[in-house]
């Protein structure tokens, strides 16, 4: 006899409890516990494994470690983030804010794959077939090998996969798909978990590269249980300010490549366009001869980016000055201000400090510390930096400037964009050949950097 069991599960982290809680004991989120009903059937024997296999255990030295075959998507920025292309049989999860361009990216990718002779099935659970056709007309993504299905029933999706036999499968979105035998509503923890498990069987068993589009919560994380990100092979976040035209595709998990790469796109009337030179895009509106503006060379994976940092220091009449940062960690800003006050003697206790990374890019590496310090000092003294300078380096608590990685790539990117001088840590000058036509100035302390940049 089947037994009906009721439990409460957190929609944020998947925590299970026999009764309802206003605050989840697992992730401490409020009003996230929902009631789930499951049917427990007693079975005899062992449960069948996720993947039926008769393979025997092998010594690891006897296993063939050949490279996974990859399929070029036709979009170089997407290939970069995926690690060189999409792997057949892989399961990829793409998340992002509403209206950021997830469906547009998937439709353009599907169209590009059809040019390689691949058959693509695009399953939309949020738009009708006519709406998808209108989007495809606008993007120019029309191909006889691109099949579109408007369906949310998991069993019917499996029937369509069996009938069409696609090489590439897109599910937009995973929160709309449901299994009839699971009694909870679509988008619930149980439905998302079970449907993702089914799609994983399809991807691994049939060798179909599958992409799941996922909704995000108000905090920016992918909605549903955290188990969802553990089940897939690759997790991509599509980021960007809705008020700007460019978008960033960032990998936070990738079993087939690096998690440090980013892809940069620009949203236009005809869809997403790849940005081949992002540094030129971010510096296109940089003002010259303005105090507080500095160009920093940052690394995103293996790609160097030149980005403008803007600092504004203004006096305040309140006892507690404000510290606001957009694009970097505000705790890092407080640390740099403390170093400038203690080691450089700058009086910032009566000054509000505002820092902004122009263009909405988020930088999270310590190599931007020196540029932040120079921007703050430039705004405080009202002395502009030279427009042909690029600055990078990590700052220690004693005021020293520490070496950073990939200094050669940063310098070459600055030279390619026409900058004449680079201020960098002294220890980063060793171990590589310096290019001609650009001046490299090594510094050991913050005082040395300010003396050179604000002379």
Sheet holding 234-239, edge to edge: 146-150, 120-124, 168-172, 209-214, 91-96, 234-239, 246-254, 262-268, 271-274
**225 labeled binding residue:** no
Residue 378, helix vs strand vs coil: helix
The 10s digit of each residue's pLDDT in 401-446 is: 999 999 999 999 999 999 999 999 999 999 999 999 999 999 999 9
Bridge partners, residue 35, by sequence: 8
Query: The tokens of 144 are what?
Result: 């006889």
Question: Would the annotation count 100 as a binding residue?
Answer: yes
Per-residue pLDDT at 220 exceeds 70: no
Is 97 known to sit in a ligand binding site?
A: yes
**Longest Cα–Cα distance in the chain:** 84
Only one residue has tokens 């932040």, namely 372
- CA dihedral angle for residue 51, residue 57, residue 60, residue 63, rounded to 10 degrees: -70
pLDDT for the residue 51: 45
In the CATH hierarchy, which fold is given to the domain comprising 70-275? Rossmann fold (3.40.50)
Q: Would you say 438 is a known binding-site residue?
A: no
CA 294 to chain centre: 25
Q: Is 345 a known ligand-binding residue?
A: no
Q: What is the pLDDT of residue 7?
A: 84
pLDDT tens-digit series, residues 345-358: 999 999 999 999 98
With beta carbons less than 8 A apart as the criterion, state whether 262 and 363 touch.
no
Contact 74, 274 (CB under 8 A): no
- Asked whether the predicted pLDDT for residue 47 surpasses 80, the reply is no
Roughly what angle, to the nearest 10 degrees, separates helices 369-381 and 330-344?
60
- 44 vs 296, which has greater pLDDT? 296
DSSP, residue by residue, 299-359: EETTEEEEEEEEEEEEE-SSSS--EEEESS-HHHHHHHHHHHHHHH----TTEEEEEEETT
| Range 308-318 average pLDDT | 93
Q: Is 117 annotated as a binding residue?
A: no
Across the chain, how many H-helices and E-strands are there? Answer: 11, 21
Q: What is the mean pLDDT of the chain?
A: 88
pLDDT at 307: 94
- Is 368 annotated to bind a ligand? Reply is no
> Measured on CA atoms in the order 252, 253, 258, 263, is the torsion positive or negative?
negative
CATH code of the region 281-453: 3.30.230.10
Quick one: pLDDT at residue 182? 83
Burial 406-424 (b: 16+ CB within 10 A, else e): bbeebbebbbeeebebbbb
101 is in an annotated binding site: yes
**CB under 8 Å to 353, separation ≥6 — which residues?**
311, 312, 313, 321, 322, 323, 324, 333, 337, 376
């Amino acid at each position: 006899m089947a037994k009906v069991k009721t439990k409460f599960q957190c929609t944020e982290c998947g925590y299970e409890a026999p009764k309802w809680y206003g605050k989840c004991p697992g992730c401490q989120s409020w009003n996230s516990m929902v009631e789930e009903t499951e049917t427990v059937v007693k079975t005899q024997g062992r449960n069948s494994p996720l993947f039926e296999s008769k393979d025997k255990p092998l010594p690891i030295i006897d296993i063939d470690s050949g490279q996974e075959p990859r399929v070029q998507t036709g979009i170089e920025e997407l290939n970069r983030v995926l690690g060189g292309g999409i792997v057949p049989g892989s399961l990829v999860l793409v998340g992002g804010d509403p209206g950021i361009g997830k469906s547009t990216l998937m439709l353009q990718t599907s169209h590009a794959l059809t040019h390689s002779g691949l058959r693509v099935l695009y399953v939309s659970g949020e738009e009708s077939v006519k709406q998808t056709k209108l989007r495809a007309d606008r993007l120019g993504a029309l191909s006889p090998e691109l099949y579109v299905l408007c369906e949310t029933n998991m069993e019917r999706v499996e029937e369509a996969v069996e009938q069409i036999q696609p090489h590439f499968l897109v599910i937009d979105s995973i929160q709309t798909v449901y299994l009839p035998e699971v009694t909870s509503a679509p988008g619930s923890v149980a439905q998302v978990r079970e449907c993702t498990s089914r799609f994983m069987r399809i991807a691994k068993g049939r060798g179909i590269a599958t992409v799941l589009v996922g909704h995000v919560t108000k905090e920016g994380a992918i909605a549903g249980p955290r188990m969802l990100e553990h089940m897939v092979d690759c997790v991509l976040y599509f980021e960007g300010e809705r008020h700007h035209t460019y978008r960033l595709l960032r990998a936070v998990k990738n079993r087939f490549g690096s998690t440090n790469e980013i892809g940069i796109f620009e949203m236009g009337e005809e869809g997403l366009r790849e940005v081949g030179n992002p540094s030129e895009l971010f510096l296109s509106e940089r003002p010259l001869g303005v105090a507080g503006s500095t160009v920093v060379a940052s690394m995103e994976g293996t790609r160097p980016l030149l980005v403008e940092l803007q600092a504004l220091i203004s006096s305040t009449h309140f006892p507690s000055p404000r510290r606001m940062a957009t694009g970097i960690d505000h705790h890092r800003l407080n640390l740099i201000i403390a170093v400038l006050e203690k080691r450089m003697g700058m009086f910032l206790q009566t000054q509000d400090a505002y820092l902004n990374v122009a263009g909405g890019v988020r930088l999270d590496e310590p190599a931007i510390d020196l540029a932040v310090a120079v921007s703050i000092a430039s705004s405080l003294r009202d002395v502009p930096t030279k427009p042909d300078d690029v600055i990078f380096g990590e700052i220690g608590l004693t005021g020293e400037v520490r070496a950073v990685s990939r200094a050669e790539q940063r310098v070459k990117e600055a030279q390619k964009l026409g900058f004449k001088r680079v201020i960098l840590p002294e220890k980063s000058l060793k171990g590589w050949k310096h290019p001609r036509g650009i001046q490299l100035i090594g510094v050991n302390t913050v005082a040395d950097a300010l003396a050179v940049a604000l002379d």
